[in-house]
Homo-oligomer: A and B are copies of this chain.
Amino acid sequence: MIKFENVGLRYGIGPEVLSDISFALEPGSFHFLTGPSGAGKTSLMNLIYLGRRPTRGLVTMFGQSINDLDRRKLTPIRQRIGVVFQDFRLMNHLSTFDNVALPLRILGRPETEIQNNVNELLEWVGLGGKTNVLPPTMSGGEQQRIAIARAVIARPRLLLADEPTGNLDDDIGFRLMNLFDQLNRMGTTIVIATHNQAVIDKLGHPRMVLEGGRLNIESTAQKNWIQKKIQGVF
């Protein structure tokens, strides 16, 4: 579904932040993306959601090579991707409802469908009583939940989440991870960048580790041993 081949990225004239990144994501897969701060997790996500073109290498999305695709042809690809940004990127002048409804509106869905879907999802992430509130008057965790709701509302075929639980307590954090898991079971491919070891351990999906601009994919089997050990403790 998504294939990177020898992809490299540099910002301006700086050093290569990502070099020789090669991987393929199967439809319906679920990966964690980890690595120390500044390793390039956000940068890699940026490449996947087409926020930037790579400096070199081949990128294939949904079977189309995007390297020499026309600008306009990227629009339908983008509509199939949901993103939770590390810094949320909410529209501060739009209410919680309208922020979450935005992807549906861009797709031109009928307003009644929007009304139902959005309200249901907001209820589910614990923001049912805050549909008409503006993001700047909400707590960090609440904003993060809006960002997550917005990313999943249009049932994207690919979901990218950058540190989606950094501002959430463990309870609501696991609840949202379950939401991702549920989506994954319905066929959505998922990549989550996170530092939260507890979450990674609990869900046990394979890890993509970025270090020094290179990417390693650790199999699930490798992790199972540690996971078992921890579960045995409690």
Residues of A at the B interface (CB closer than 8 Å) are: 11, 34-38, 40-42, 86-87, 137-142, 145, 162-163, 166-173, 195, 197-198, 233
Contact = CB atoms under 8 A, between A and B. Distances in A.
Contact of A169 (B36, B87, B198): B36
Report, nearest first, the 3 A-B pairs whose CB atoms are least far apart.
A37-B141, A166-B166, A86-B140
Given A36-B171, A41-B139, A168-B195, 4 more contacts: A40-B139, A163-B167, A167-B195, A233-B233
Contact of A139 (B34, B42, B140): B42
A51 to B, nearest CB: 14
The listed residue with most B CB atoms (<10 A of its CB), out of A37, A139, A173, is: A37
Pick from A11, A145, A167, A170 the residue with the most CB of B within 10 Å: A167
A55 to B, nearest CB: 16
Nearest to A142: B38
A171 B35 CA distance: 11
A181 B141 CA distance: 26
Nearest to A144: B37
B11 A137 contact: yes
B169 A167 contact: no
A167 B35 CA distance: 12
Contacts of A87: 140
B140 A169 contact: no
Contact of A37 (B35, B40, B41, B139): B139
Contacts of A197: 170, 198
B11 A168 contact: no
B140 A163 contact: yes
